[in-house]
Amino acid sequence: MANEKLKLMIVDDEYEIRQGLRSFDYSAFGIEVSDDCENGLFALKALELAPADILVTDIRMPLMDGLELAEKVAARYPHIKIIVLSGYDDFEYAKKCMKHGALDYLLKPLDFEEYEKALAEAARLIDREKDVQERAAVLERKAKLSAHHLRRKFLRDLLQRAMTDEAIELESAFSEVMLEENGEYAVCLLRLDSYPDRPRGVGDKEWNLILFTLDNLMQDLWDEQGMGYHEVDDKGQISLILTNPDEVAELKRSPEHLRARMERIVLGLKRFRGLLKSHMSYVMGPTVAGPGRIRLSNREAGALFHAPSAREEEEQAASEAREETIGGELERENGHRLIEEAKRFVEENYDRTITLDDVARHVHLNASYLSFLFKEMTGQKYIDYLILYRIEKAKSLLKQTNYKIHEIGERVGYENPRYFTLVFKKYAKQSPVEYRNAFYQAESGGR
């Protein structure tokens, strides 16, 4: 990447000027000319096929002038640095260009010293932005690792111990696990035949690689297929939580339906059997109502393997629901004010990762109490409000911009494009692509 040259596009309706700008020596700035076009319309089309880092454009051109081109490029490709050329010493032109994101406004005939300064500044800004992006990527990787650990802990708790509805709602918001309060669920277990012992001849390094491989495979074969969530324990048992309502309904009608899917998953793991030195078996627990009973399906599935099931100590729901005593009741008016402030915080920060704890700190409340108050005041869970707000923003972007789906997902707070698509489809009943296509079809049909 360090040796990769920056791409520059030239747009001018005069052939001689395009050739003159092409002949300039850009090598000192780490720049090469990637394309030249005779008007803004052709330039936009070319940018769709081959992106550029720097755009040098004339103002006065047929079909689409430089001002309109600058406006569209700034909206669609905000990373591109724009240098505008003009034969008119017009302050209003300069202001409009700067408004649309132009880095500099140079007069013709071109002063090449000024042109060199503009190119140097463009290259400097691009290098700085790349440094920022690299640092952000490091922070993002750390955040994703942290989110992975949070999700893994929550799923283990969900599978193994009794949890109150409030605790489930709170932890699901933290770990971005979507569970419906009145939904139905089932747990499927996959085990090595040697479970709970590690297969013979497998060292620590090899075993950790196996667990890592199993975790990534199940992410592809289960989670990202919209089936639900998975967890791989330290001994290689895979717990699959079935959350897809259509699949749960099909399982209740015909257990063979899910069995066929499980057989395909086991088949997909066959290529690792030589490495594992052990075959894999699977069982399915019963369908249960509500996320708080997922552990019961998991326990029944474990019993089917004739393994001694762990005796879980039932916790008192009433005491867990009130882990902290809330001193006094807030007046309803004050409660509404706090919830409106919480909503404003969400609306101002939805485009990044925010947790219920972040919102709670902003309004100076305990996260557990804010969760209770939010539902009490709005009749809606905090996580549902956040997701629906993001989905509405995503719909607007799908209708009003040409951003790619993954770019829209990032702009509404979802770094993982597949997860964004799953969430969008769950709440909008259409994938983002289907929603955009339906909108454009309706628009074209209305004309």
- My answer on whether 398 and 436 are in the same domain is yes
State which of 242, 276, 308 marks the end of a domain.
308
Q: How many angstroms separate the CA atoms of 447 and 52, rounded?
A: 35
Residues 241 and 183 sit within 8 Å (Cβ to Cβ): no
State which of 256, 273, 308 marks the end of a domain.
308
Q: How many angstroms separate the CA atoms of 131 and 133, rounded?
A: 5
More confident residue, 152 or 33: 33
User: What are the tokens at 430?
Assistant: 């259409």
Nearest to 42 by CA among 25, 62, 60: 62
Q: Tell me if residue 184 falls in helix, strand or coil.
A: strand
- My answer on whether 196 and 297 are in the same domain is yes
pLDDT digits (tens, 9 = 90+) for 113-140: 889 999 999 898 888 888 777 776 655 5
- My answer on whether 296 and 336 are in the same domain is no
Residue 166 within a domain: no
Measured from the Cβ of residue 212, the count of other Cβ atoms closer than 10 Å reads: 11
- My answer on whether 31 and 80 are in the same domain is yes
pLDDT, residue 138, reads 58
Show the domain range for 46: 6-131
Residue 327 within a domain: no
Residue 420 within a domain: yes
Residue 317 within a domain: no
Residue 30 within a domain: yes
Q: What is the mean pLDDT of residues 395-404?
A: 91
Residues 151 and 176 sit within 8 Å (Cβ to Cβ): yes
User: What are the tokens at 96?
Assistant: 């409009």
pLDDT, residue 146, reads 60
pTM over 0.85: no
Domain count of the fold of the chain: 3
Residue 169 within a domain: no
Residue 322 within a domain: no
- Residue 366: pLDDT band with limits 50, 70, 90: confident
User: What CATH number should be reported for the domain holding residue 262?
Assistant: 3.30.70.270
State which of 107, 131, 155 marks the end of a domain.
131
Is the pLDDT at 317 greater than 70? The verdict is no
Label the pairing between strands 184-192 and 238-242.
Answer: antiparallel
User: What CATH number should be reported for the domain holding residue 48?
Assistant: 3.40.50.2300
- My answer on whether 254 and 304 are in the same domain is yes
Residues 104 and 118 sit within 8 Å (Cβ to Cβ): yes
Residue 287 within a domain: yes
pLDDT digits (tens, 9 = 90+) for 232-260: 888 888 888 888 888 888 887 777 777 77
Measured from the Cβ of residue 7, the count of other Cβ atoms closer than 10 Å reads: 17
pLDDT digits (tens, 9 = 90+) for 270-284: 655 544 555 677 888
- My answer on whether 351 and 417 are in the same domain is yes
pLDDT, residue 322, reads 38
- My answer on whether 108 and 188 are in the same domain is no
Burial class (CB in 10 A: 0-12, 13-18, 19+), 428: middle
- My answer on whether 299 and 343 are in the same domain is no
